[in-house]
Amino acid sequence: MRLSKKMVLAVLCLVILPLVLLTVSWILLSGGGAAAAAGTVRLLLGLSVLALLLGALLLLRWQANHFSKPFKQLQEAAGLIRDGNLDFELSADADDEFSQLFDSFEEMRLRLKNNAEERLRYEQDNKVLISNISHDLKTPITAIKGYVEGLRDGVASTEEKRAKYLSTIYSKADDMDKLVDQLSFYSLVDSDRIPYHFTRLSARAYFSDCRWDFKEELDAQEFETDYENLVPEEVEMVVDPEQLRRVISNVISNSVKYRDRSKEKSRISFRIRQAGKKILAEIEDNGVGIAPEELPRVFDRFYRSDASRSAVTGGNGIGLSIVKKIMEDHGGRALLKSEPGRGSCMTLELPVYEESAHEQDIDRRR
């Protein structure tokens, strides 16, 4: 513990100075001539008493400052926290036993501040989510009501019109079903409780199956599709097939949602290849694209680019955040390149499965 100047002076007055004076008095008395030295001894004893009193006074002052000031600081800090003010800093003036208490109190303040800021962000995110959901639900509901009224009022007078109306109603209802499913899944993402069931499988076969799973949907949306799979048959990966399919579905949904209708044909290209110990699944479209300044934020929760805000379909801003989370949980990552007016390319990176020495030994024994 580092001693203050007042503490050093108090020790000097209480111990060292009286000891020196008493020693000198003893030397004078033992050296003979007691009568001659009596006056000097009395003076020295008086000075000793005065030094003791001064030392005691200094010690009391030091204790008062040493204990009362830190307690007063802690009391003021506790009052600020009680009033909800966490924007202050508590630091000890000296490196003593109170410094650890101040450090603990400051750590508590920072944790409370972080928790308060996190709670505020969570509340703001919920407000944004509710606003986006309201918009996303209102659009298909309005369309469904309009087509139902058309059917009820006899506007769809021919079988062809009725079939078209019913097809549109089904499509809008399907959009709402997907939105509800996405929101339900987002609650699992938010609480970090995504149910994963990882399995080892062929990368080439898996992405080929995914291509056929989504081809019918893309054909219905009048998209041209290109597919190229250069991954060797023997290359494997460990993934959750359902959750990885959700990632691909979200990426394709974005491409469909933000297609550039000014172009004669909308296109999505799938390219699957191996790069070292990584499997790269590239999904490229010729949609409206995203501005360069917006790219760093597209994976943030509830973030919507200008393109999504201006699109008729809106967008709740959670699709790509789900993509990012699932890819990271698979030990991979999602990368997006985009250029306004030319389209976007999402690259899904997944690690190639490598058999461990233990597994190789088991295979040999079989």
Q: For 83-107, how does the pLDDT look when each residue is reduced to its tens digit (9 = 90+)?
A: 888 888 877 666 666 778 888 888 8
């030319």: which residue's tokens?
342
> Could you tell me how far CA 355 lies from the centroid of its own chain?
33
Domain span at 10: 5-85
> Does residue 244 lie in a domain region?
yes
Phi and psi at 269, nearest 5°, equal -115, 135
What's the rounded Cα separation, in Å, for the pair 253 and 361?
44
CATH of residue 292's domain is 3.30.565.10
Is this structure's pTM higher than 0.75? no
Is the predicted pLDDT of residue 4 greater than 70, yes or no? no
Regarding whether 291 and 212 lie in a shared domain, the answer is yes
């009395």: which residue's tokens?
42
Which of 85, 117, 148 is the last residue before a domain boundary? 85
What's the rounded Cα separation, in Å, for the pair 318 and 303?
8
Which of 155, 190, 225 is the last residue before a domain boundary? 190
Which of 150, 169, 190 is the last residue before a domain boundary? 190
Per-residue CA distances from 105 to 67, 83, 90, 115, 191 (Å): 16, 16, 8, 15, 29
How many CB atoms neighbour CB 42 within 10 A?
11
Regarding whether 324 and 294 lie in a shared domain, the answer is yes
Regarding whether 268 and 149 lie in a shared domain, the answer is no
Least Cα distance to 284 among 266, 301, 304, 299 occurs for 266
Kindly provide the residue ranges of all beta strands, DSSP E only, lying in 124-180, ordered along the sequence.
none
Is the predicted pLDDT of residue 21 greater than 70, yes or no? no
In the chain, count H helices and then E strands.
Answer: 11, 7
What's the rounded Cα separation, in Å, for the pair 268 and 282?
10
Contact yes or no for 289/307 (Cβ under 8 A): yes
- pLDDT at residue 38, rounded to an integer: 61
120 versus 93: which is more confidently predicted? 120
- Identify the band that residue 348 occupies on the pLDDT scale cut at 50, 70 and 90: very high
Arithmetic mean of pLDDT, 24-40:
57
- Identify the band that residue 1 occupies on the pLDDT scale cut at 50, 70 and 90: very low
Regarding whether 31 and 173 lie in a shared domain, the answer is no
Contact yes or no for 311/257 (Cβ under 8 A): yes
Regarding whether 240 and 149 lie in a shared domain, the answer is no
The total of structural domains in the chain comes to: 3
Write the DSSP symbol of residue 285.
Answer: E
